[in-house]
Amino acid sequence: MDKMNPLPRLDALHYLFTKKTDRTVAHCLDLDLVAVGRDRATAEQRLNEIVCAQIAGAYSVGNYGLLFFHAPVEFWTAMKEGEDLPKSLLRIETTPPMFLPVEQRLLEVELAVYRAQTAYAA
């Protein structure tokens, strides 16, 4: 974190989808969060909810350590080797923590989500 800007900055998120026999696992590599669904759309919707809650919670209470849990390197390697999927945007609503007594305003943050899918796994 920069001394002039105490808030950590997320520029983008990276989602890795792994299709299993009966389900799809969605993994946000930037926050090491995982969700499972019967298909990719369901898994992604669930992961989006978890990611939004994690980021909004971290900013609302000033616990920025919650934003610095990256997935292990093998998942990032799988992301590079996976099939590219179209990018999407994730809207996150959060109230910034107060450092000085100021009026609070609701912020809406949109992050690019880079997505890839691994080859079929049993």
Q: pTM for this one?
A: 0.75
Structural domains counted in the chain:
1
Strand order in the sheet with 83-94: 33-37, 24-28, 12-19, 107-117, 83-94
Distance between CA atoms of residues 61 and 55, nearest Å: 10
pLDDT given at position 8: 66
**pLDDT tens-digit profile of 76-107?**
888 888 888 888 888 877 665 433 233 322 33
57 inside domain: yes
- Which residues constitute the domain of residue 58? 12-117
4 inside domain: no
Contact present, 121 and 18 (Cβ < 8 Å): yes
6 inside domain: no
User: Which residue in 33, 25, 12 sits closest to 90, CA to CA?
Assistant: 12
